[in-house]
Chain A
Amino acid sequence: MTANGWFQIGFFVLVIFLITKPLGVFLARVFSGEKTFLDPVLRPIEKLVYRLTGIEEKHEMRWTEYAVAMLLFSGVSMALLYLLERVQKVLPLNPQKFVNLEPGLAFGTAASFTTNTNWQAYSGESTMSYFTQMAGLAYHNFASAAVGIAVAVAVIRGIARKETDKLGNFWVDTTRCLLWVLLPICLVGSMVFVSQGVIQNLKPYTAVELIEPQTVQVTGSDGKTTTQTVTQQVIAQGPVASQEVIKEFGTNGGGFFGANSAHPFENPTPFSNFFQLVLIFTIPSALTYTLGRMTGSQRHGWAVWAAMAFLFLAGVTTAYWAEARGNPQLGRINQTRSAMQSGGNMEGKEVRFGIANSALFATVTTDASCGAINGQHDSFTPLGGMVPLINIMLGEVVFGGVGAGLYGIVVFVILAVFIAGLMVGRTPEYLGKKIESYDVKMAMLAILVLTFTILGFSALAIIKPFGTSSISNPGPHGLSQVLYAYVSSAGNNGSAFNGLNANTMWYNTSTAVAQLLGRFFMIIPVLAIAGSLAKKRIVPESVGTFPVTGGLFAGLLVATIVIVGALTFFPTLSLGPILEHLLMAAGKSF
């Protein structure tokens, strides 16, 4: 670990802290229908959208109507993406003449992008036409992010409002999110990426002559090995910048290229890398301020932010330490940092980014439900690779996905005040609302759906040949690969331990189902909690009220998140990365 590395991590945290309040205020104004500086331009467009689609702007929805609207929107969007992938061959903007996706991959990808997961069992540059990338995948990057933020806003309204059963209008919240938040910032952000060298074109791929022709061994379908001389390289092109910015800002994570943010056309410079990191945490961090502002308890918003920041720092410290200390099995080889080498475990990492920025990226992308990567998590040391795994297992509430992080941590807040209430023998309260059995039941449903999905599918995949046949490394590392696939899917993250061959019928369909369950069967009980809270009266604070502000609450919230995560997943972690770490220390690798 170096002072330079720590400075970059510290500077990143500072920038996120500074963005939180101004964007949080802006979000609160947008979703409260207050005036903003963008209104003169966007308000007429918004009214036109409502007129064309028949949306009644003033109509407020109960939680059930809000949930059904969200489900119908997502279901229809998913079906359209599936159709688009299946007929891309006959659609325009396909200069490489890519064929239609096969049904299993099309279904898995449609579910993946609809649920904001962006799990990719394909490489974009060899599979997707420009039309599919833009009209299918990029559309979902915007739409799924807007859905997540809309649900979070509905949850905040549920906490803030009293004695009503209305949570707002799903269509209005989604439209305002797209027009006021996502599109303007992505327009500016894509220009920033272009300035750094991220490409944006619709050209056919470029074939260039190699300066040094390469000789390679090729094994044909008949099993015979021949020697070939490669003199040309095909360089993929495409509309990357416009997709890159929403990939991070919407915490989607699906790369235009298979190498994702390790590809120089997606992430060419140290500044573009830093900008991507900031984009990932921007909205999730700002929403904590929005929570405080809309509920009238700014200190509560900051307490939630502090709990998230603590867990983030714990994760990045562990990952950075584990990667910087290198691989003990390399023994006498000098792994210390010098002017000639980065030092530490550089396998699977970009030399351009080094240890600190790879560890930071891995932590940020899995704290949030982003899933973009600038290095291979599969090549991290066992403990370094366990950090991304744990981040997702904790429910991605450490800032989390856009909207999903906020409504996810509200579930843990409900549990934390419930536990505090049990400890002091009082009815638990949350910002003046009594937390009752229904709220806790819904909170548990939201948490248990992740547990059952992750552990259920993982257990099946590691005992059946259709699951084990995709594993590329034996032993505990193989378990980590399978576990990561379902943790990432159910948690709607989308990053992968890339050693697993996920493009099989089993993994395409099972991860798709895991993504759908992890997304929608969590949102439904969360909206039920919001509907329940909105109906309640505000109870005046008393001496027995457990404060949801300050260090004690933040500490209890952190403890609740860690204990629930540890109780659920420690056995599998002990058989995967922890065992692998101990065996590595004993001289055995996988």
Chain B
Amino acid sequence: MLDAIFVVTTALFFTLAIFYVRGCELLGKGRSHERS
């Protein structure tokens, strides 16, 4: 049972991290450096 919890936790963490990559990318969309 604990094995399943830890494996799922690991998978969830890295999935969340990939979403974080996407979030950071979206935060940069349309930013101002192209105008500089």
Which residues of A does B touch, CB under 8 Å? 64, 67-68, 71-72, 74-75, 78-79, 82, 86, 103-104, 106-107, 110-111, 427, 434, 436-438, 441-442, 445, 513, 516, 520-521, 524-525, 528, 531-532, 535-537, 539
Complex A-B: 17 CB contacts under 8 Å: A64-B25, A68-B21, A75-B14, A78-B10, A86-B3, A104-B2, A106-B6, A107-B10, A111-B10, A434-B33, A434-B36, A438-B28, A438-B32, A442-B27, A513-B13, A524-B21, A532-B33
What residues on B are CB-neighbors of A438 within 8 Å?
A: 27-28, 31-33
What residues on B are CB-neighbors of A516 within 8 Å?
A: 13
Are B10 and A79 closer than 8 Å at their CB atoms?
Answer: yes
- Select from chain B the residue with minimum beta-carbon distance to A103: B2
Which residues of B does A touch, CB under 8 Å? 2-3, 5-7, 9-11, 13-14, 17-18, 20-22, 24-25, 27-28, 31-33, 36
Are A536 and B10 closer than 8 Å at their CB atoms?
Answer: no
What residues on A are CB-neighbors of B11 within 8 Å?
A: 75, 79
Bound complex: CA of A110 vs CA of B20, how far in Å? Answer: 22
Tell me, rounded to whole Å, the shortest Cβ–Cβ distance linking A554 to chain B. 27
From B2, B5, B14, B32, contact of A71 by CB (8 A) = B14
Which of A104, A434, A516 neighbours the largest number of chain B CB atoms within 10 Å of its CB?
A: A516
Bound complex: CA of A431 vs CA of B24, how far in Å? Answer: 23
- Select from chain B the residue with minimum beta-carbon distance to A433: B33
Are B13 and A103 closer than 8 Å at their CB atoms?
Answer: no
From B6, B7, B20, B27, contact of A521 by CB (8 A) = B20
Bound complex: CA of A436 vs CA of B27, how far in Å? Answer: 13
* Apart from the given pairs A78-B10, A79-B7, A537-B36, 17 other A-B contacts in the complex at a CB distance below 8 Å: A64-B21, A64-B22, A64-B25, A67-B21, A71-B18, A71-B21, A75-B13, A82-B7, A82-B10, A103-B6, A104-B2, A107-B10, A436-B31, A437-B31, A438-B32, A532-B33, A536-B33
What residues on B are CB-neighbors of A535 within 8 Å?
A: 33
What residues on A are CB-neighbors of B18 within 8 Å?
A: 68, 71
What residues on B are CB-neighbors of A107 within 8 Å?
A: 6, 9-10
Bound complex: CA of A442 vs CA of B23, how far in Å? Answer: 11
Bound complex: CA of A110 vs CA of B36, how far in Å? Answer: 45
What residues on A are CB-neighbors of B5 within 8 Å?
A: 103
What residues on A are CB-neighbors of B10 within 8 Å?
A: 75, 78-79, 82, 107, 110-111
What residues on B are CB-neighbors of A79 within 8 Å?
A: 7, 10-11
From A436, A442, A536, contact of B24 by CB (8 A) = A442
From B2, B25, B32, B33, contact of A528 by CB (8 A) = B25
Query: A437 and B14 in contact (CB under 8 A), knowing A82-B7, A521-B20, A524-B24?
Result: no
Closest 6 CB pairs of A and B: A75-B14, A103-B2, A107-B6, A528-B24, A438-B31, A67-B21
Bound complex: CA of A139 vs CA of B10, how far in Å? Answer: 19
Bound complex: CA of A515 vs CA of B20, how far in Å? Answer: 17
From B13, B20, B33, contact of A436 by CB (8 A) = B33
What residues on B are CB-neighbors of A67 within 8 Å?
A: 21
Are B17 and A528 closer than 8 Å at their CB atoms?
Answer: no
Are A532 and B21 closer than 8 Å at their CB atoms?
Answer: no
Bound complex: CA of A376 vs CA of B26, how far in Å? Answer: 46
- Select from chain B the residue with minimum beta-carbon distance to A72: B14
Query: A441 and B14 in contact (CB under 8 A), knowing A82-B7, A103-B2, A536-B33?
Result: no
